[in-house]
Amino acid sequence: MSEEKLFQFVTWISNRTGIGEIPVILILAVLATFSFLIFWFKFVPWAILKMAGSETETLMTGMPGTATVLEIGHASGDTENGQLMMLLLEVKPQKGPAYQARIRVDAKIENVELIKPDAVLPVKISNDDPQKVVLFLEEEEDE
């Protein structure tokens, strides 16, 4: 839209409503901002999640199941939020036979105590590769 047509539109709205041109411009700016935000939050998170990697995609679309922790090993280094761990799991999908998978986990500090030998944990299993298993530890809500 050219500047002249935009000015004509603002003047037309201003004349029809009886308010000045500045409030009309502010209202149009607010509407444009909200439209952009609605578009952004409706469509962009899916694109970001798809770019974030297979772990996020597995959490969103993977098959639910359980996994029993068979072995725990520590991967090199710690992270800000927890500890890097290597786990050998016996994965039990809701449908199909159990199998073993080895995964690397960046466990948050509050979840480290949940990950112990013989613990049965909820998981999500990739639809594309059953060896891609993600722990599905839901975060507790603050009271």
pLDDT tens for each residue of 93-130: 998 999 999 998 877 767 778 889 999 999 999 988 89
One domain, residues 84 and 45: no
* Final residue before a domain boundary, out of 33, 52, 71: 52
* Ranges assigned E (strand) in 10-114: 63-78, 82-93, 99-108
What local confidence, expressed as pLDDT, does residue 52 receive?
Answer: 47
- Whether 84 is covered by a domain: the verdict is yes
One domain, residues 76 and 120: yes
- Whether 8 is covered by a domain: the verdict is yes
Round to whole Å and give the CA distance between 143 and 126.
33
What local confidence, expressed as pLDDT, does residue 21 receive?
Answer: 84
One domain, residues 68 and 126: yes
What local confidence, expressed as pLDDT, does residue 59 receive?
Answer: 79
What local confidence, expressed as pLDDT, does residue 12 receive?
Answer: 87
* Final residue before a domain boundary, out of 14, 29, 52: 52
Task: Give the chain's domain count.
Answer: 2
What local confidence, expressed as pLDDT, does residue 71 receive?
Answer: 93
CA distances from residue 120 to 1, 99, 131 in whole angstroms, order as listed? 60, 14, 17
- Whether 58 is covered by a domain: the verdict is no
pLDDT (tens digit per residue) in 57-93: 787 888 999 999 999 987 766 566 667 888 999 999 9
One domain, residues 68 and 12: no
- Whether 46 is covered by a domain: the verdict is yes
The pTM score is 0.56
One domain, residues 25 and 87: no
One domain, residues 126 and 74: yes
Residue 74 structural domain: 63-135
Kindly tell me if the per-residue pLDDT of 141 is higher than 60.
Answer: no
One domain, residues 67 and 127: yes
Count the residues in the chain.
Answer: 143
What local confidence, expressed as pLDDT, does residue 100 receive?
Answer: 96
What local confidence, expressed as pLDDT, does residue 137 receive?
Answer: 75
- Whether 39 is covered by a domain: the verdict is yes
One domain, residues 130 and 72: yes
What local confidence, expressed as pLDDT, does residue 140 receive?
Answer: 45
